[in-house]
């Protein structure tokens, strides 16, 4: 039985309180819906819970990188999203002093769009529907407040309009994004991680938009950047994200400063801001984040899977959901819930993402300074190979094989000169 709407809650809840599942996925963002889709497609009995009824908004830049596009194609939702999204073919980086470099977004498959921008209200609802079409049950609003283990199961407690409901499953997948409350309650996280912060708003009647992702290091706090991502020929998602080292700047203040600085003021001369800017934190601590606990796997941003340089995480959310579903299937079909079986999931995530995150943290440490970015952008304008590397970094790839040290980076720069 599937349920998409809260009106049928009562009937469904009576059934579900006693029902038991193979996997309960908590959170129906990209990570949770991807997990639910891939797990249900493998024949597992899956319950997907979210505290919000859908469609719902999620504060985001809405940018889908080539990695995300590939995953959406794999999930069978790309064509529907392509019809409602905005295709982006190039990116432009503006240095702190304002000079720019631009290049096509590299992508391997000419049949796929290089990148897309799809408002999260639309994207997340498509992904959730994909999960239910594959066989997962969806229940919302179901705010999960507790996760407890019994001998051979997990029991999830969710709140719905003041009522508490209990669900049982062989295991749970936590996909609650940057919200850490459940991870702390369930003993997965012991301390509150440090976060990035970001704020964004939608604008219409924006001038000078084209099929370009604009990343601006001018008039944005360092380390961090501002973005202009078109969602239509004259509308855009505009925002600022940064790593909060300067305690005196709030995300709201950084956003206001960015949109009122000369470059954006020119683009927004006749524009209308559709609603107040919204801010939200980002967790990019994958290198130290726990990814499992007994009978629990953690996916997406709940596992710190947000790029520490670019702040994008939808692609890694989808990929980690796919990996978690494979491991959940193995654990459930073999009945092996040993630490080694959980650890295998962690190892699979580290094999996929560790090098990328180490690279991005190193670059963030030494390159996110105004003078370095000024030099890099100027050099990139003269060197195609540097522009390609920059594109890979901007799009969440690893352009240098092996460990990146400051020495290697300086030598690469000297060669580029
Ligand atoms: C301003 C901003 C701009 C960004 N721009 C981009 C971008 O352009 N491209 C990109 O790739 N990434 C971007 N990101 C990052 C991206 O938004 C996240 O990486 C992505 O949403 C993570 O997906 P997720 O499924 O892990 O978590 P989320 O998308 O956060 O989904 C978590 C879900 O869990 C639910 N939930 C939480 N707690 C509970 C609970 N206790 N019980 C039940 N349900 C619960 C929530 O309602 C939500 O639906 C941006 C982030 C911000 C803040």
- pLDDT tens per residue across span 292-348: 999 999 999 999 999 988 899 999 999 999 999 999 999 999 999 999 999 999 999
Check whether 398 has a pLDDT greater than 70.
no
The residue-averaged pLDDT of 232-250 equals 85
- Among 6, 28, 29, which is best to mutate for testing ligand 1, by the most ligand atoms less than 8 A from CB? 29
| Residue minimizing CA distance to atom 51 of ligand 1 | 60
Name the DSSP letter for residue 8: G
> Is 277 within a domain?
yes
H helix runs in 76-229, sequence order: 78-84, 120-133, 181-185
Q: What is the structure's pLDDT at 315?
A: 97
Q: How far apart are CA 311 and CA 197, in angstroms?
A: 9
**Token pair in block for residue 3:** 């349920």
The overall average pLDDT reported for the chain is: 89
Q: Pick from 341, 359, 377: which residue ends a domain? A: 359
User: Are residues 251 and 312 both part of a single domain?
Assistant: no
Q: What is the CATH number for 89?
A: 3.50.50.60
Q: Pick from 282, 302, 319: which residue ends a domain? A: 282
Q: How far apart are CA 151 and CA 20, in angstroms?
A: 15
Higher pLDDT, 160 or 126: 126
- Domain count for the chain: 3
Tens-digit pLDDT profile for residues 38-52: 999 999 999 999 999
Check whether 189 has a pLDDT greater than 70.
yes
User: Are residues 235 and 258 both part of a single domain?
Assistant: yes
Is the preceding omega at residue 24 within 30 degrees of 0, hence cis? no
Check whether 397 has a pLDDT greater than 90.
no
Check whether 2 has a pLDDT greater than 70.
no
User: Are residues 203 and 270 both part of a single domain?
Assistant: yes
Check whether 393 has a pLDDT greater than 80.
no
User: Are residues 198 and 182 both part of a single domain?
Assistant: no
User: Are residues 353 and 321 both part of a single domain?
Assistant: yes
| Residue minimizing CA distance to atom 52 of ligand 1 | 60
- Among 31, 177, 320, which is best to mutate for testing ligand 1, by the most ligand atoms less than 8 A from CB? 177
User: Are residues 133 and 255 both part of a single domain?
Assistant: no
Atom of ligand 1 nearest to the CA of 227: 8
Q: What is the structure's pLDDT at 394?
A: 67
Q: What is the DSSP string of 57-92?
A: ---S--EE-HHHHHHHHHHT-HHHHHHHSEEE-EEE
Q: Give the range of the structural domain holding residue 171, as residue numbers without chain letter.
A: 6-57+122-191+285-359
> Is 307 within a domain?
yes
Higher pLDDT, 16 or 248: 248
**Token pair in block for residue 382:** 């003269």
- Among 27, 226, 231, which is best to mutate for testing ligand 1, by the most ligand atoms less than 8 A from CB? 27
Tens-digit pLDDT profile for residues 122-145: 999 999 999 999 999 999 999 999
User: Are residues 177 and 198 both part of a single domain?
Assistant: no
- Among 216, 296, 314, 356, which is best to mutate for testing ligand 1, by the most ligand atoms less than 8 A from CB? 314
Q: How far apart are CA 258 and CA 178, in angstroms?
A: 24
Sort 381 into a burial class: Cβ within 10 Å, 0-12 / 13-18 / 19+: middle
Residue 100 CB neighbours (<10 A): 16
Distance 148 CA to ligand 1 centre (A): 24
| Residue minimizing CA distance to atom 2 of ligand 1 | 60
Q: Pick from 359, 389, 407: which residue ends a domain? A: 359
Q: How far apart are CA 406 and CA 201, in angstroms?
A: 36
Give the CA-trace dihedral at 33, 37, 38, 43, to 10 degrees: 140
> Is 175 within a domain?
yes
Q: How far apart are CA 182 and CA 25, in angstroms?
A: 13
User: Are residues 211 and 272 both part of a single domain?
Assistant: yes
User: Are residues 37 and 128 both part of a single domain?
Assistant: yes
Write out residues with Cβ below 6 Å of ligand 1. 26-32, 49-52, 58-63, 143-144, 175-179, 182, 198, 200, 239, 241, 280, 282, 300-302, 306, 311-315, 317
Distance 58 CA to ligand 1 centre (A): 6
User: Are residues 253 and 289 both part of a single domain?
Assistant: no
Q: What is the structure's pLDDT at 6?
A: 45
> Is 1 within a domain?
no
User: Are residues 215 and 262 both part of a single domain?
Assistant: yes
| Residue minimizing CA distance to atom 33 of ligand 1 | 27
Do residues 102 and 377 lie in contact, with contact meaning Cβ atoms separated by under 8 Å?
no
* Beta strands, E only, 124-222: 137-139, 143-150, 153-160, 163-174, 196-204, 212-216
Atom of ligand 1 nearest to the CA of 117: 8
Higher pLDDT, 108 or 25: 25
User: Are residues 275 and 202 both part of a single domain?
Assistant: yes
Do residues 165 and 17 lie in contact, with contact meaning Cβ atoms separated by under 8 Å?
yes
The CA-CA-CA angle for residues 34, 36, 38, to 5°, reads 65
């Amino acid at each position: 039985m599937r349920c998409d709407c809260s009106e049928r809650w009562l009937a469904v809840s009576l059934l579900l309180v006693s029902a038991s599942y193979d996997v309960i996925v908590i959170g129906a963002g990209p990570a949770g819906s991807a997990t639910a889709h891939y797990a249900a497609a493998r024949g597992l009995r899956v319950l997907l819970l979210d505290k919000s009824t859908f469609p719902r908004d999620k504060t985001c830049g809405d940018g889908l990188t080539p990695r995300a596009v590939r995953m959406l194609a794999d999930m069978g939702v790309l064509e529907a999203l392509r019809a409602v999204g905005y295709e982006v073919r190039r990116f432009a980086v503006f240095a702190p002093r304002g000079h720019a470099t631009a290049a096509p977004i590299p992508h391997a498959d000419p049949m796929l769009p290089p990148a897309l921008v799809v408002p999260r209200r639309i994207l997340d609802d498509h992904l959730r529907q994909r999960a239910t079409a594959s066989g997962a049950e969806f229940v919302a609003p179901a705010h999960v407040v507790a996760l407890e283990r019994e001998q051979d199961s997990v029991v999830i407690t969710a709140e719905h309009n003041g009522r508490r409901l209990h669900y049982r499953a062989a295991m749970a997948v936590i996909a609650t994004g940057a919200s850490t409350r459940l991870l702390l309650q369930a003993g997965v996280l012991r301390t509150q991680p440090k976060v990035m912060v970001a704020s964004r708003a939608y604008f219409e009647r924006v001038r000078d938009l084209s099929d370009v992702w604009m990343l601006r290091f001018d008039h944005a706090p360092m380390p961090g950047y501002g973005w202009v991502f078109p969602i239509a020929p004259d509308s855009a998602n505009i925002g600022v994200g940064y790593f909060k080292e300067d305690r005196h700047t709030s995300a709201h203040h950084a956003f206001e400063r960015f949109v009122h600085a000369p470059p954006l003021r020119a683009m927004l001369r006749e524009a209308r801001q559709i609603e107040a800017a919204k801010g939200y934190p980002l967790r990019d601590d994958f290198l130290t984040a726990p990814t499992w606990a007994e009978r629990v796997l953690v996916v997406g941003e709940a596992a710190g899977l947000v790029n520490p340089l670019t702040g994008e995480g939808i692609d890694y959310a989808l990929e980690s959901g796919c990996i978690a579903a494979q491991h959940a299937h193995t654990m459930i079909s073999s009945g092996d819930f040993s630490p080694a079986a959980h650890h295998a999931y962690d190892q699979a995530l580290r094999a996929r993402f560790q090098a990328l995150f180490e690279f991005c943290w190193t670059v963030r440490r030494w390159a996110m300074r105004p003078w370095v970015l000024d030099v890099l952008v100027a050099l990139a304008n003269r060197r195609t190979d540097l522009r390609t590397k920059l594109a890979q970094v901007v799009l969440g790839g690893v352009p240098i094989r092996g460990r990146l040290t400051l020495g290697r980076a300086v030598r690469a720069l000297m060669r580029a000169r």
